[in-house]
Amino acid sequence: MSCATDQFPAVRSRLLAALETGELRSEAGLSAVIDLIREATDCQAAAIRLTDEDGYAPYEAQCGFPKQFCARRNLLRLARDRCLCVQVLTEAIDPALPASTPSGSLIFGTAADMLAALRHLPNPPAHMSCPEVGFETVALVPIRGAGFPLGLIHCADPRPHHLSPVAVERLETVADDIGRALFFDSIWPSPWASPNLTGTPALCPMCGRRRTRGGEWLAPERLGLPPVPWSARPARRVLCPHCLSRQTPV
């Protein structure tokens, strides 16, 4: 059974209204978004992962996943874990995968589809957590801000083939809305966006420069640090003065 895609326009309108409040980074704000996603997809479980400055992608909000699942799969480490969530978060999806979409999502109608996808990975994990807890339909949809990966939406349901292609496209639209809100909330308008704010270390998502506690922006190599990949950059981003001067708020 597919979800009722006619719910998406109304849900998206309510989502955009919620995003305008600027509370998306609060636990209550993200939980409200999760509720809207579950309402639109009629999926049993939905969650949002966001990457952080330490290279992890924890669940920032979730509803419907078993407790043991969340305890085991909450702190994904992008440089270590090999699951399909990490493939989406690091934009390492093989476009030849039957389950992939042009937007970089992975959509599975059955557990067998997920297991088949593992064969395309160069170093597949030993097990798949979603099928182990009874999920058949699984959607992993990237959240991007200004074209850069920030996290993903994870939907799951025990019913096979529960998401129609149209529903997937609209879910990707919702992910884009969330990504824009996350990105611009962190850089404009916000005290975090100020290139002169001192005493707060930060990292520029555009060029990788880091702000020291003294307020100076330095390239990673000047600090003796390796460049940070996009997937390991913090969810709370701060543009350096050079990159901020090239941005226009929307």
The 10s digit of each residue's pLDDT in 129-169 is 899 999 999 999 999 877 778 899 999 999 999 998 888 88
Same domain, yes or no: 75 and 118:
yes
SS3 146: coil
Same domain, yes or no: 131 and 153:
yes
Same domain, yes or no: 29 and 128:
yes
On whether residue 64 sits in a domain, the answer given is yes
Q: Based on the structure, what is the number of domains in the chain?
A: 2
Same domain, yes or no: 90 and 38:
yes
Counting residues of the chain whose pLDDT is more than 90, the rounded percentage is: 24
Averaged pLDDT score across all residues of the chain = 77
On whether residue 249 sits in a domain, the answer given is no
The Cα angle at residue 75 between residues 74 and 76, in degrees rounded to 5? 105
Global model pTM greater than 0.75: no
The maximal CA–CA distance of the chain, rounded, in angstroms, is 57
pLDDT tens for 79-120 read 888 888 988 998 888 888 889 999 999 999 999 999 888 877
Q: What's the confidence (pLDDT) of residue 249?
A: 42
| Residues contacting 90, CB < 8 A, separation 6+ | 78, 149, 229, 231
Six-digit token pair at 70? 């969340």
Same domain, yes or no: 234 and 148:
no
Same domain, yes or no: 39 and 153:
yes
Q: What's the confidence (pLDDT) of residue 189?
A: 35
CA dist list (Å): 250 to 16, 135, 139, 188, 205: 14, 38, 29, 9, 18
pLDDT at 175 over 60: yes
Same domain, yes or no: 202 and 95:
no
Name which residue leads in pLDDT, 20 or 138: 138
Q: What's the confidence (pLDDT) of residue 236?
A: 46
Q: What's the confidence (pLDDT) of residue 80?
A: 85
- Section 63-68 average pLDDT: 93
Q: What's the confidence (pLDDT) of residue 28?
A: 78
Check: CB of residue 201 under 8 Å from CB of residue 240.
no
Q: CATH code at 132? A: 3.30.450.40
- Section 172-190 average pLDDT: 71
Q: What's the confidence (pLDDT) of residue 214?
A: 66
Same domain, yes or no: 208 and 108:
no
Identify the band that residue 43 occupies on the pLDDT scale cut at 50, 70 and 90: very high
Same domain, yes or no: 40 and 86:
yes
On whether residue 250 sits in a domain, the answer given is no
Domain extent for 222 = 191-244
